[in-house]
Amino acid sequence: MAIASFSPTASITALPFAGWLVGRLGSHGATRAAGLTLCLLLLAPVLAPSLTMLILALLLFGAVNGLVDAAMNAQGVLVEDRYPRPIFSSLHGLYSTGGLAGASIAALAV
């Protein structure tokens, strides 16, 4: 298995735990907790001193990224339920637009 595939594999594997976390903390609490944890893990792959630690950092980062994704979607469903019209596709579109903008800014910075 290539090193680059550890993060997405962990992300998919963590999805059942994401449902449990959202059920226990609610979507708002799970989004906040997983988002904070993801921010704290952001530098872990970069600072990994060995291949083993890099693999562990990528697994943790991928798993927490899956938790954030599931929790944000659950929160989006709750927001859409309170809104007078469907907005879920707009939430996904703006998330993608933000990712594209961030990647573009990072590419220009490099």
**pLDDT 10s digits, 50-83:** 999 999 998 999 899 989 999 999 999 999 999 9
Tell me: pLDDT of 6 over 80.
no
Distance (Å) of CA 75 to CA 11, 24, 105, 106: 18, 14, 28, 28
- Alpha carbon distance 97, 110 (integer Å): 20
Q: Which of 94, 51, 87, 88 is nearest to 73 (CA)?
A: 88
Give the pLDDT score at 4: 58
CA 30/CA 4 separation, integer angstroms = 26
pLDDT of 1 above 60: no
pLDDT band at 98 (very low <50, low <70, confident <90, very high): very high
pTM value > 0.85? no
CA angle 96, 73, 90 (to 5 degrees): 45
Q: Where are the domains of the chain?
A: 3-85
Residues 6 or more apart whose Cβ sits within 8 Å of residue 78: 27
pLDDT at 25: 93
